[in-house]
Chain A
Amino acid sequence: MNTVLLARTWEAQRAKLLAVALALGGWGFLMPVIYASYGAQFRSLMESGVIPRQLAEFGGGDIFSLPGAVSLGFIHPIAVALNCVFAIGFSTGSVAGERQRGTLEVLLARPISRRSLALTLYAAIVLFVAITTAAFLVGVFVASALWGVSAELGLSRLPLLWLNGVLLFAAFGAIGLAASVSFDRMTPVLAIALGFTIVSYFVDVLGSLWPDAKGLQPLSLFDYLKPSDVLSGTATPVDFAVLAGVAAAGVAFALVRFPARDLAAPS
């Protein structure tokens, strides 16, 4: 790993990182607030039968509890999109973007191996998603304390929830990096990484809402994000292991593929 490159990457991304972290922190803050303010009304609305019961199970748990509300916020498209700024946006551009702009040539004229470059960029991806995921949970923690509902949350399980989230977005980041080292242009890289993420999310949502599609859910990486199970203490190590395995496979592919490639002159 190259510390000079890591420091430069941090410097280049810190403003964006701050904006995303603040947005996710704010989003996390809203979850306990909404639960404390409107949870009872939502429960009576759902129990009236006006809204299908499956919607209440989206996210894998009881959305009328605080852990359920936090779980829903964690996998809500807004939270996913914000985390994907780095998991997909940064990872896909990390090599292919530099290649497309022509700056990769300047970087690789220095004594940095391609493996070291890829590992450093992946370390940056993990660092960024670790911070953004933590920002969401900090927002949850602060609002729970302010609204006096933190006793319902099980604060000791938040670090495990953080790890579950980091592993999910680190897995997407690894897929983005693997695609990024494989192409000279951003278009196919974005198509692969973004397509995979969107399809994965769609499959998970479909399985949540339509019982016949439940069997497809294990094909989605989002199926292994189990905020509700983590917060209720029923999560299994398998979910964490699957996400870690996908991340490791993506990084391993990048470490093999990138050094083997020919980097012809930019056209």
Chain B
Amino acid sequence: MSVIVTDGLTKRYGRSVLALDGLSVEVREGEIFGFLGPNGAGKSTTIRLLLGLLHPTMGRAEILGLDSERQSVAIRGRVGYLPGGIALYDSMSGEALLDYLVDLYRRPPVRRAELLERLELSAVDLRRPVRDYSRGMRQKVGIIQALQHDPDVAILDEPTEGLDPLMQRAFYDVLDDLRSNGRTIFFSSHVLSEVERVCDRVAIIRAGRLVALEDVGALLARRHRHVEIRVRGEAPRLDGVAGVSKLVTRDGLLTCELEGDVGPFLAAVQRSDVADLTIEPAHLEEAFLEFYQDDRPAGIVGTDVGAVRAG
């Protein structure tokens, strides 16, 4: 079942600024969906269209089967939202703020105690005015206000901004728990390692257009790995082996790039006397940077292209 659906979603400001151009994606129930792109790519515009804060120029968006334009109040009753760089009411205490924001949902804060414990916010912290909070504490309160009422869908914009590595890990555990409880998470981030760590699928947008939509695993599998082999005796014959490129052999040290299935490569090297073998793990960063390049032709790549239409 698709929890979030956008169909040809387009937002134009005036005549000259095209902020989002025909975005069509589907986010499935119970997945953590990464939404990536450089600054100004249209990520915040998409989120705001989903929540009914902006009106689409063309196309439509749905969350939980509800239309973002006409039923945005009902949608916001079932969604938890963490804005990027969240602003809070500084004169209130953390506790009063969380009480106020959950009261507006008219739902009990069923997850608050657990979130406070996992994000290490104490009762003493909550009694202090928000104006005295550090950036990390503000972000923790932001996360808690978005998730304390146990929403069906969470939309999180740069959620780990300002969190230290330990708190980031605690937050990833929270996301894992939400996913295992069937909650759907729409996750916008610039931190590529965390997208790799937590997301099931990623969409990449650039200049308002979707350029990729893939499983994180598939994206990783397609990445070039850097390989170094030190051999005793004759070097293995890797010319023409599937996935191998940029092959260089010098003084018993062989280096190459490896893409996709490692099977043919391993089969080719196992006949050689290998003294040392290093395969650097593929990271998403290179993949994303490729998609971010401005000179890359517009179009959509990925294993999920069947679920996507170009705008």
In the complex the two chains form, is A4's CB within 8 Å of B100's CB?
Answer: yes
B101 close to chain A: CB less than 8 A: yes
Q: Mark B90-114, 1 if CB is under 8 A from A, else 0.
A: 0100000000110111100000000
In the complex the two chains form, is B87's CB within 8 Å of A103's CB?
Answer: yes
A238 close to chain B: CB less than 8 A: no
A245 close to chain B: CB less than 8 A: no
Complex CA distance for A127 and B227, rounded to whole angstroms: 73
In the complex the two chains form, is B87's CB within 8 Å of A110's CB?
Answer: no
In the complex the two chains form, is A108's CB within 8 Å of B86's CB?
Answer: no
Q: Which of B45, B51, B54 contacts A109 (CB 8 A)?
A: B51
Complex CA distance for A8 and B103, rounded to whole angstroms: 10
In the complex the two chains form, is B48's CB within 8 Å of A263's CB?
Answer: yes
In the complex the two chains form, is B83's CB within 8 Å of A264's CB?
Answer: no
Smallest CB gap from B157: residue in A? A265
Most chain B CB within a 10 A radius of its CB, from A106, A112, A113, A266: A106
| Cβ–Cβ < 8 Å partners of B91 in chain A | 12
Complex interface residues of chain B between 71 and 130 (CB less than 8 A to chain A): 73-74, 76-77, 79, 81, 83-89, 91, 100-101, 103-106
Smallest CB gap from B85: residue in A? A102
B10 close to chain A: CB less than 8 A: no
A111/B74 contact (C-beta < 8 A), A101-B87, A106-B145 known: yes
Q: Which of B48, B79, B104 contacts A2 (CB 8 A)?
A: B104
A111/B77 contact (C-beta < 8 A), A262-B55, A263-B54 known: yes
In the complex the two chains form, is B101's CB within 8 Å of A110's CB?
Answer: yes
What is the total number of residues of chain B having a CB less than 8 Å from a CB of chain A? 30
Q: Which of A106, A108, A110, A111 contacts B88 (CB 8 A)?
A: A106
Complex CA distance for A86 and B53, rounded to whole angstroms: 27
In the complex the two chains form, is A4's CB within 8 Å of B103's CB?
Answer: yes
Complex CA distance for A101 and B103, rounded to whole angstroms: 21
Least CB distance, A113 to chain B, in whole angstroms: 5
In the complex the two chains form, is A8's CB within 8 Å of B87's CB?
Answer: no
In the complex the two chains form, is A103's CB within 8 Å of B88's CB?
Answer: yes
B168 close to chain A: CB less than 8 A: no
A102/B101 contact (C-beta < 8 A), A111-B77, A263-B54 known: no
Least CB distance, A16 to chain B, in whole angstroms: 12
Q: Which of A4, A106, A260 contacts B83 (CB 8 A)?
A: A106
| Cβ–Cβ < 8 Å partners of A1 in chain B | none
| Cβ–Cβ < 8 Å partners of A111 in chain B | 73-74, 76-77, 104-106
| Cβ–Cβ < 8 Å partners of A102 in chain B | 83, 85-87
Complex CA distance for A12 and B79, rounded to whole angstroms: 27
| Cβ–Cβ < 8 Å partners of B245 in chain A | none
Least CB distance, A179 to chain B, in whole angstroms: 20
A/B pair count, beta carbons within 8 Å: 68
Q: Which of A103, A109, A264 contacts B81 (CB 8 A)?
A: A109
Smallest CB gap from B81: residue in A? A109
| Cβ–Cβ < 8 Å partners of A262 in chain B | 13, 53-55
Q: Which of A106, A263, A265 contacts B101 (CB 8 A)?
A: A106
Least CB distance, A52 to chain B, in whole angstroms: 49
| Cβ–Cβ < 8 Å partners of A47 in chain B | none
Least CB distance, B93 to chain A, in whole angstroms: 12
In the complex the two chains form, is A112's CB within 8 Å of B54's CB?
Answer: no
Complex CA distance for A2 and B106, rounded to whole angstroms: 11
| Cβ–Cβ < 8 Å partners of B45 in chain A | 264-265
Smallest CB gap from B76: residue in A? A111
| Cβ–Cβ < 8 Å partners of A105 in chain B | 53, 83, 86-87
Complex interface residues of chain B between 13 and 47 (CB less than 8 A to chain A): 13, 44-45
| Cβ–Cβ < 8 Å partners of A112 in chain B | 73, 76, 104
Can you report 30 A-B residue pairs in the complex whose CB atoms are below 8 A from each other? A4-B104, A4-B106, A12-B91, A102-B83, A102-B87, A103-B88, A103-B89, A105-B83, A105-B86, A105-B87, A106-B83, A108-B76, A109-B79, A109-B83, A109-B146, A110-B76, A110-B101, A110-B105, A111-B73, A111-B76, A111-B104, A111-B106, A112-B73, A112-B76, A262-B53, A262-B54, A263-B48, A263-B54, A265-B44, A265-B48
Q: With contacts A109-B76, A111-B73 known, what are 20 further pairs, Cβ within 8 A?
A: A2-B104, A5-B104, A102-B86, A103-B87, A105-B53, A106-B83, A106-B86, A106-B101, A108-B76, A110-B101, A110-B104, A111-B104, A112-B104, A113-B73, A260-B55, A262-B55, A264-B45, A264-B54, A265-B44, A266-B87
